[in-house]
Amino acid sequence: MDTAIQTAPRKKRALSCIQPTGIPTLGNYLGAMRNWVNMQDDFECAFAVADLHAITVRQDAAQFRRQIYEMFSLLLAIGLDPEKSLLFVQSQVPAHSEMAWLLACHTQFGELSRMTQFKDKSANHADNINLGLFAYPSLMASDILLYQPDYVPVGADQKQHVELTRDIAERFNNIHGKVFTVPEPYIMKSGARVRSLQDPTKKMSKSDENQNAYISLKDDPDAIRRKFKRAVTDSEARVYYGEGKDGVNNLMEIYSSVTGKTMEEIESEFEGRGYGDFKAAVAEAVIDVLRPIQQRFDQLMKDKGYLERMMKQGAERASAVSRRTLDKALKKMGFVLV
β strands within the chain, DSSP E = 13-18, 44-49, 86-89, 151-154, 184-187
Determine the pLDDT at residue 8: 56
CATH: 2.60.120.10, 3.30.70.600, 1.10.240.10, 3.40.50.80. Which one for 211-298?
1.10.240.10
Q: How many CB atoms lie within 10 A of CB 272?
A: 7
* pTM greater than 0.85: yes
When mean pLDDT is compared across 18-32, 112-126, 282-296, the lowest value belongs to: 112-126
Report how far residue 279's alpha carbon sits from residue 231's, in angstroms, rounded to the nearest whole number.
Answer: 8
13: closest CA among 151, 167, 173, 139?
A: 151
Return the domain boundaries, the chain: 13-192+303-333, 211-298
Q: Look at 86 and 1; give whichever has higher pLDDT.
A: 86
Give residue-wise pLDDT tens across range 141-171: 999 999 999 999 887 667 788 999 999 999 9
Determine the pLDDT at residue 306: 97
When mean pLDDT is compared across 119-123, 175-179, 231-235, 254-258, the lowest value belongs to: 119-123
SS3 87: strand
How confident is the prediction for the chain on average, in pLDDT? Answer: 92
Say what percent of the chain tops pLDDT 90: 79
Q: Is pLDDT above 70 for 3?
A: no
When mean pLDDT is compared across 11-20, 106-115, 189-198, 263-272, the lowest value belongs to: 189-198
| β partners of residue 48 | 17, 88
Q: Which of 159, 202, 206, 304 is catalytic?
A: 206
Say what percent of the chain tops pLDDT 70: 96
When mean pLDDT is compared across 122-136, 232-246, 260-274, the lowest value belongs to: 122-136
Phi, psi at 237, each rounded to 5°:
60, 35
Residue 336 C-alpha from the chain's centroid: 36
Q: Is pLDDT above 80 for 205?
A: yes
Q: Look at 177 and 22; give whichever has higher pLDDT.
A: 177
When mean pLDDT is compared across 12-26, 84-98, 187-201, 271-285, the lowest value belongs to: 187-201
User: Is 121 annotated in the active site?
Assistant: yes
Topology of domain 13-192+303-333, per CATH?
Rossmann fold (3.40.50)
Q: Is pLDDT above 60 for 1?
A: no
Give residue-wise pLDDT tens across range 43-82: 999 999 999 999 988 999 999 999 999 999 999 999 999 9
Average pLDDT over residues 87-96: 98
User: Is 206 annotated in the active site?
Assistant: yes
Q: Look at 6 and 255; give whichever has higher pLDDT.
A: 255
Q: Which of 11, 84, 119, 121 is catalytic?
A: 121
Q: How many CB atoms lie within 10 A of CB 286?
A: 25
Which band of pLDDT confidence, cut at 50, 70 and 90, is reported for residue 25?
A: very high
